[in-house]
A = this chain, B = another copy of it.
Amino acid sequence: MKFELLATDGAARAGRLTTTNGVVDTPMFMPVGTHAAVKALGPDDLRAAGAQIVLANTYHLFLRPGHELVRELGGLHRFMGWSGAILTDSGGFQVFSLSKLRKISEAGVEFRSPVDGSTHFLSPEIAVEVQQALGADIIHPLDECLAYPVSRLDAERSLELTLRWAARSRAAHAGPGRTSQAMFGIVQGGVDADLRRQATRATVDLGFDGYAIGGMAVGEPKPTMYDLTELVAGLLPADQPRYLMGVGKPDDLVHSVARGVDMFDCVLPTRNARNGQAFTADGPLTLKQARYTRDQAPLDAACGCYACRGFSRAYLRHLFMAGELLSHRLLTLHNVTFFLGLMREMRAAIVAGAFGGFQARFFARYAVAHGEESGDTPSP
């Protein structure tokens, strides 16, 4: 993997990540393909939306269909028919957020599968082995994710464990099964600035191909998230990519790019599509609202996606209200197109040295029309 920094504008960066499976222009958003599929979209749709890289969840694929099967079938790219880049997380976040009866030890974490109740064990070494079998272009070390809020003592203890696991992951990745996969370190440390600083330095000292900022968007106030992102990004090597995990809303993306982040993933565009929410430059719109019943306009007049070229809000609302599966595909396609278009606009603004003006125009339009609140994720 190669990362080139092409331009900066303040802390904002435009770059190019070259992976075994294609180029990723940064800043970039990665649609989430939990089970080796971005919900409701085929690889054809993803390409049409402008995706260059997707995220797949190690935890889910470990449980079903199993990493050995994916390896046997030629790895994730071939399995899911996606010729672009793929990033896998380590499974840590899901073990801690989705599994019951987990038991953490120095060795690793034991947990019960929500699919069939079976018991599984992930260690840093096993997480690397699983991700090697899956074959993504970018992989991650197993980490412990804490809920928010948490005591300083718990945060310290957790960070120490995450760092020891990171060192073991790095060693496993450099071991006999070594692949050409890149590995990003994950910076944890909770909401304490000192701990985050310490976490960043210690993670960078281990030496990874890029750095993920983890444990954000878990319930902390937005200003805290922005401040910590700025803090961590400022301590990371300038010549390596930075990935803010699980973020976020369109305005979060702009705020975070302004603070030096290069890569993002979030279920927001895909999950909210299935709840009938479409993102536009004026803010999100919720198709279940009766005001769209007779609305002949496309979701977003400026959008070139298939949903906006062929269908009215009235029709898309009808599909959503009738529970039609096509609604999920069309709204997801639009939302992913919108998120990727936003990233493209940010790249262009950074390259042009005009990111300040871009931000002003974006927030004037996006915030005024609908505001932060209406962008909140409805429950799935």
Write the residues of chain A forming the contact surface with B, with a CB cutoff of 8 angstroms.
35-44, 60, 64-65, 69, 72-73, 79-81, 293-294, 296, 306, 310-312, 314-315, 318-319, 321-322, 324-326, 328-330
Contact indicator B73/A312 (Cβ below 8 Å): yes
Q: When A73-B296, A73-B315, A294-B72 are in contact, do A40 and B80 touch as well, CB less than 8 Å?
A: no
* B293-A65 in contact (CB<8A): yes
12 A–B contacts, CB within 8 A, in A order: A35-B322, A37-B322, A39-B324, A40-B326, A42-B310, A64-B322, A65-B318, A72-B294, A73-B314, A79-B314, A325-B325, A329-B329
- A312 vs B65: C-alpha distance when bound (angstroms): 14
Q: Contact at B306–A69, with CB atoms within 8 Å? A: no
A322 to B314, CA, bound (A): 31
A36, B40: Cα distance in complex, Å: 19
Within the complex, the shortest CB–CB distance from A95 to chain B, in Å, comes to: 18
How distant is A76 from chain B, measured CB to nearest CB, in Å? 10
Q: Are A311 and B81 in contact (CB under 8 A)?
A: yes
Task: Tell me if B315 and A36 are in contact (CB < 8 A).
Answer: yes
- Whole-angstrom distance from the CB of A126 to the nearest CB of chain B? 21
A326 proximity list for chain B (CB < 8 A): 37-42
CB nearest neighbor in B for A82: B310
Q: Are A42 and B73 closer than 8 Å at their CB atoms?
A: no
Asked if residues A318 and B35 are in contact (CB atoms below 8 Å), the reply is yes
Nearest CB of B to A88, in Å? 16
> Which single residue of chain B is at the shortest CB-CB distance from A80?
B315
Query: A73-B296, A310-B81 in contact; A325/B40 too (CB < 8 A)?
Result: yes
CA of A329 to CA of B64, assembled, Å: 21
Question: Measured between alpha carbons, how far is A312 from B318 in the docked complex, in Å?
Answer: 34
Excluding A40-B325, A69-B294, A79-B318, 13 further A-B contacts by CB distance (< 8 Å) are A35-B322, A37-B319, A37-B322, A37-B324, A40-B326, A41-B326, A42-B306, A42-B329, A65-B321, A69-B293, A69-B314, A73-B314, A79-B312
A310 touches B43 (CB 8 A): yes
**Residues of chain B within 8 A of A73, CB atoms compared:** 294, 296, 312, 314-315
Q: List the B side residues contacting A44 at CB < 8 Å.
A: 306
**Residues A39 and B325 in contact, CB atoms below 8 Å apart:** yes
Bound form: Cα–Cα A88–B256 in Å:
52
Which residues of B are found within 8 Å of A293, using beta-carbon distances? 65, 69
Give min CB distance, A344 to chain B, whole Å. 23
Q: Is the CB of B314 within 8 A of A40?
A: no
A102 vs B198: C-alpha distance in the bound complex, in angstroms? 72
Q: Write out the residue numbers on chain B whose beta carbons fall within 8 Å of the beta carbon of A329.
A: 40, 42, 325, 329
Q: How far is the CB of A71 from chain B (nearest CB, A)?
A: 11
Min CB gap A68→B, angstroms: 10
**Contact assessment for A318 and B64 in the assembled complex, using a CB-CB cutoff below 8 Å:** yes
Q: Contact: B81 with A315, CB < 8 Å?
A: yes
Q: Bound complex: CA of A324 vs CA of B56, how far in Å?
A: 13
Q: A311 — which chain B residues lie within 8 A by C-beta?
A: 81
B contact residues around A319 at 8 Å (CB): 35, 37
Q: Nearest Cβ distance between residue A323 and chain B, in whole angstroms?
A: 8
Chain B residues in 8 Å Cβ range of A81:
310-311, 315
